[in-house]
Amino acid sequence: MVPKLDVRRANAEKKYTGELCFTFEAEPSLVEIPFVSISSPVEAKLRYAILEDDSVEIEGSLAFTLKGSCSRCLRETEQRVSGEAEGYFVPYGEGGEDYSYSNGVIDLGEFLRDSVIFLTPARLVCSENCTAPDYKEE
Ligand SMILES: [Zn+2]
């Protein structure tokens, strides 16, 4: 489950910083490598910081496993992917580079989708030495 960050409540409780650790199922459409999908829930370890103007910085790491056909040799393979994720949320913002939120609650869904897409490599390869079968044109 993707938690929502209730900025209004966090402010009321003076919890201006905190941690969000959770797992969620990524939508299959996020991975565009043919015959490859995310085989495990995505693990998120995030920290948030609410600034004085109610904008919110979120940063941390995501980890997940890609499984499917090697993009070169088509053998079944899997790869652990992990990396940094960060986002900046402004209340009632008008797009731009930042995420916006309204009604005092941040929905992390779009940020997490963007981060998974960003971390997913362009292709899945079973090993660095993998060489594709030699298709010779006769
Ligand atoms: Zn391979």
* Ligand 1 centre distance from Cα of residue 37 (Å): 16
| 3-state percent helix, strand, coil for the chain, nearest multiple of 5 | 15, 45, 40
User: How many other C-beta atoms can be found within 10 angstroms of the C-beta atom of residue 67?
Assistant: 17
State the pTM of this model. 0.89
| Backbone dihedral angles phi then psi of residue 115, each to the nearest 5 degrees | -70, -40
pLDDT for res 138:
47
Residues within 5 A (CB) of ion ligand 1: 70, 72-73, 126, 130
- pLDDT: which is higher, 87 or 95: 87
* CA distance linking residue 116 with residue 119, whole number of Å: 5
Q: Mention every residue, 6+ apart, whose C-beta is less than 8 A from residue 34.
A: 69, 71
Question: Which tens digits make up the pLDDT trace of 91-137?
Answer: 986 667 789 999 999 999 999 999 999 999 999 999 988 876 655 54
Return mean pLDDT, the chain.
92
pLDDT for res 53:
92
* Ligand 1 centre distance from Cα of residue 128 (Å): 8
